[in-house]
Structure 1
Amino acid sequence: MKGVTLRKEAIVISSVAAGVLFGGPTLVLAHESPATSNKLNSYDYSQVVRYGHTGSYVSNIQKKLTSLTLYNGAIDGIFGKATEHSVKQFQQLHHLKVDGIVGKRTLTTLSAIQNEQKTYQLGDKNEEVKSFQTKLKALHYYTGHIDGIFGPLTLKAVQEYQEKNKLELSGTLNTATQIHLLSNRNKKGKTLTKIKVQNVQEINNNNIVVNAKNLLGSRYVWGGNTPSGFDCSGFIKYIFEKENILLPRTVNELWNYAKEVQKVGVGDLVFFETYKPGPSHVGVYIGNNQFIHASSSKGVTISNLSGPYWKERYLGAKKV
């Protein structure tokens, strides 16, 4: 196109992409440097990439989707129909707007999940295993203690879950199994007591907030999940468990598990991007533009969403 000059290291735009690009407000990652071409977290999160775009940025998105078993096409750097379909699958799994466009929300979620995802197997012991035990127990596959130890009972539960849901029978909490579990909303293996919608709303709007306020002043402890000390996600997990609602343990897992809402309501989870890309802090909205959370500097406290620190880091609200 006349008058348009691209730098040598810029992403090459195909004729198809040019028609899409210059016909609308799409932003092009035209100044991606070779030094950051393999680091998805290094990209400008204000950029948008969609059908018709080409280049190493697209290749990296394809690689991330492949590692999450959502894309099995060629890593060719061409954002075609197959890539768009995989992006839509990812968005649907993680309760994002399903438009096939990789914008800030989709990119931060994709980056956070891919960076933190790893396989857990027999003998492992950590908080992540505890979160998946909680999910498997809620779905009536796991019958043991929520202790974070990948033992024989956890192995049996994982194998049963994989068999029933036609996943690879690896006996490990691999990426495909983790994604399936996190996106599974009551696709149970056995009998699961149903909760009426009105009761869920009552829990969210009243009991959860009361539970949270009763803990005001509790101190902050990294990895803490009891009144003797909480971190932000441990605090959320504790106040919901008081109402027999079992949630994943980490902020990233909560972000993937909960359902996005257009307008925040009392009892909804509010997420922030603080010390790393993607969701890294969470609290509970209590009305009047306020939320309660476990702050690293103040412990369990109430803050304002419009405060300068929180406003610029706010990612959005989700409902359990």
Structure 2
Amino acid sequence: MSIASSAKEAFVISSVAAGIMLSGPSLVKAGVSADQNDNKHVSIETSQIIRYGHMGQIVENVQTKLTNLTLYNGSIDAVYGKRTEEAVKQFQRLHHLKVDGIVGKETLTKLTTLNSSPKELVFGDHSEEVEPFQQQLKKLNYYEGQIDGIFGPLTLKAVKKYQKKNNLHVTGKINTPTQIHLLSNRNKKGKTLKSVKVKAIQTTEVKSSVTSIAKSLIGTNYVWGGTSPSGFDCSGFIKYVYEKADILLPRTVNEIWNYSKDVQKVGVGDIVFFETYKPGPSHAGIYLGNGQFIHTSSSNGVTISELSNSYWNARYLGAKRIPNS
């Protein structure tokens, strides 16, 4: 593909790509007449590419699209310069395309199908979209949890630390600026980044605090979906107790199971899990020691039960530990 070498030469964009390509001839610069353009032009088909140095309406359309996606904040001047190229690279990183700064067929197709910025990921989200950011945070020594797609407390802590370290607005959300910065960071070994080690809280103090808070709630009614002293379900109770001890947990039993770590021997403050009304972990409580655990039952509310009880013993799946507790 060649670029017009004089004011008498112009690009003609001919394509059917929705929202980006033109349906007819277009001039590169204002002041070039239609008659002059008819004399000599270069056609760019959809199978061809748009790259650094190109000019014309198609470049202006790409710049407009990138501006709408909050990825480009330069002048919409129909000139494919360095700022446009960098915005295209950011777009490619965000959508896991080949990062070359060139608007080829794959990048163009993705551009034409998007109407908004990438989804903002927040605490509590559970999806595959979270995983690439967990992987990158782990690679850069900010995240020490599992790559499970759960935006839990460890992911939240890692995001906030990353934002603070890299002078981003500390929101705890994986928003567009954070996504772009993370996916642009090629410091694979973290040579200029500090390895983040979470300072351990005194385990004994945490366990004592958790069990004391839990016991203070004995007798609270069971409420499906409840998360406060006016009524708890089993996971709402555990989440509430740990938050009072300054430890954030995911909301559901299954998420807490995935978030917590396996232990060889159950200890005070560990979470004990049971399979009750559906396959997999569906009920949980906090281990108190001496074979007892505190939990919210549908019949008795917050209460203390024995692991040796025939009902619970038959449904016991095992114990897991909350990280840094």
TM-score, length of structure 2 as denominator length: 0.45
The answer to which structure, 1 or 2, has the higher relative contact order (CA under 8 A, 6+ apart) is 1
Work out which of the two has the higher radius of gyration on C-alpha atoms and give 1 or 2: 2
